[in-house]
Amino acid sequence: MDRVIFTAASGAQAAMYRHQVVAHNLANVTTTGFRAELSTFRAVPLQGEGTTTRVHALEATPGYLDKPGPLQSTGRALDVAAVGRAFFAIQALDGTEAYTRAGALQVNAQGNLVGFNGLPMLGAGGAPIQVPADAQVHIGRDGTVTARVGQEPPQVLGRLKLVTPPEGQRLVRGPDGLFRAADGQPLPADDAATLVDGMLEGSNVDPIAAMVDMIAATRQYELQMRMVQNAEKNDQTAAQLLSLNA
C-alpha cells in the first residue's frame, strides 16, 4: 500500500477533530461564560532509515480563546461576571478546586452558594460559602458576600475567591468543562480582581467565524480523503501494469 495513504489519513483525522471542536463551540454559543476551544496540532516527522520524507499531524493540548464574552444585563442579585481575565473558584465533584467564568449563582437546599452545575462556590479561604435561610444576599464588586435576614443588620458571609492566571500561563480545561492549573495545584486568590453584579458574561464564541472554520475543516477533510482515493487508484494501476508484464 502506498505510504501516502497513512500521511493523508492522519491529515483527515486532524480535520475531523477540528470539525468536532468547532461543532462543540457552536453548541455552546449561548452558554454562560463559555470559552471557545482552540484545536491545535503538531507535526511529527516519521523517523527511520534515510531522509525523513513524511510528517503526520497529531493533536496537541487544546487551548481556549482567552478574551471576555459580551456582558448581558439580568438585574438579578446573584448573577455576577468576573472582570478581565479573572475566574471564579468552584469545588469540583471530586472535591478539588477548579475555575469557571460562569457566574449564575444560587442558594441550594443545603444553604450553599452554588454556581456552575450546582457546584459550591469557594470563598477566599478555600471553603464553600454558607447562606442563612431566608436571607437576602448581596455580592459586592470585590466579591464580598453579605446576607440580611429580615430587619437584622447585614452580616459578611465571606468573599468569593477570584483567581487570575499569571501572564503567559493558561489554564487547562477538563472533561467536566471546568478549568484547572496545569500542575493541578490551586491558584492564589487575586485580591485585586473584581466583578460586576446583575450581569452575566456570554459565550465568547463568534458564530460566524465558527461556521467559516467548519466549512474550512470540511473541505480539508474532503481533500485528504481525495488523496487517499488517488493513492488507491495509483496502487490499482501499478498492480495492473505488473500483471501485464508478468
Question: Mean pLDDT for the chain?
Answer: 88
* Closest by Cα among 76, 78, 27 to 207: 27
Task: Detail the DSSP E strand segments found in 23-161.
Answer: 37-38, 41-45, 55-59, 63-64, 71-73, 80-82, 87-91, 97-100, 106-107, 113-114, 136-139, 144-148, 155-159
Same domain, 149 and 52: no
> Looking at 167, 185, 201, which one is the last position of a domain?
201
Interatomic CA distance for residues 223 and 157, integer angstroms: 59
Find the helix or strand (DSSP H, E) in which 221 lies: helix 207-245
Do 14 and 93 lie in a common domain? no
DSSP 232: H
Domain, as residue range, for 239: 4-65+205-245
Distances (CA, A) of 79 to 101, 125, 133, 198: 12, 22, 19, 5
Same domain, 141 and 183: yes
| pTM as predicted | 0.81
**Segment 166-209, tens digit of pLDDT:** 887 889 999 999 999 988 899 999 999 999 999 999 999 999 99
Q: Say yes or no: 119 and 179 in one domain.
A: yes
Shared-domain flag, residues 80 and 196: yes
3-state secondary structure of 140: coil
Same domain, 147 and 220: no
Above 80 in pLDDT, residue 63?
A: yes
| 20 and 132 housed in the same domain | no
Q: Are strands 136-139 and 144-148 parallel, antiparallel or unpaired?
A: antiparallel
**Residue scoring higher pLDDT (32 or 10):** 32
β-strand partners of 201: 71
List CB contacts of 245: < 8 A, sequence separation 6 or more. Answer: none
